[in-house]
Amino acid sequence: MIGTDPRARRADAARARSQGVRQRADRPSQRRSAEHAGARAVARAALIDPQVRAAGDGGVLEFTGHASVTEQAYEMWDWYGPYMEVVSAGAFDTTLARADLDVPLVLGHDQLRRIARTTNGTLDLSVDDQGLVVAARLDPDDADVAYIAPKLRAKLIDEMSFAFRIEAGTWSPDYTEYRIDRVDIHRGDVAIVGYGANPYTDSGLRAGEPGNARARALLALSLAR
């Protein structure tokens, strides 16, 4: 029976995992972002200080942010229980190099609520020393853009997330942490979301605090005249 203390729960889960996982390179089984079985298998990061400012270029909204923070641990769950997960700094290099990369920026992981996309030139993805950078040019006449922009300005929405497939990773020797070394984000998404399921979303990494183990992403929304 897993205890109620978070560290004890992870330790109990790790002991069971060490007996049930055949190789450290095996991916987490039934990976999800919360204890309940129906939780999505996505990593979420909270945004810092959403802003709207004039960009000096008419007709578009410019959105920039981080959909994932690398080298920062966050809690996830698998069949055995909770564990800590880390996305390696180089995990996105291969997938972002694809000439045919197809990733939309969406609301709430809803594929019908797309507000930008790499294939039509309105979304650029890259990596910096903090994580996965999202830079989008949005149509202010789009109903979903008109819906989300005021909520970002008012800081009613302050999280991002990304959906992806794990291509390579490894468990720590004690099976308490899984490090994702390579992801495939092609035909996944980057998303603006509400509350995340992970505990880290209520405290986290702020500018100037690179050592904090709780990840928060950065957001800037520029409104062009």
61-89 residue pLDDT tens? 888 888 888 999 989 999 999 999 999 99
- How many residues in the chain? 225
Beta bridge partners of 138: 61
What are the tokens at 51?
A: 């802003």
- Model-level pTM? 0.80
**pLDDT, tens digit (0-9, with 9 covering 90-100), for 118-172:** 999 999 999 998 889 899 999 989 999 999 988 887 888 878 888 899 999 999 9
Beta bridge partners of 170: 179
Report which of 4, 22, 8 is spatially closest to residue 171, judged by C-alpha positions. 22
Residue 126's beta-bridge partner residues? 133
Higher-confidence position of 60 and 44: 60
Give rounded-to-5 percent helix, strand, coil for the chain: 15, 40, 40
**Residue at 68: amino acid letter:** S
* Closest among 53, 87, 50 to 65, alpha carbons compared: 50
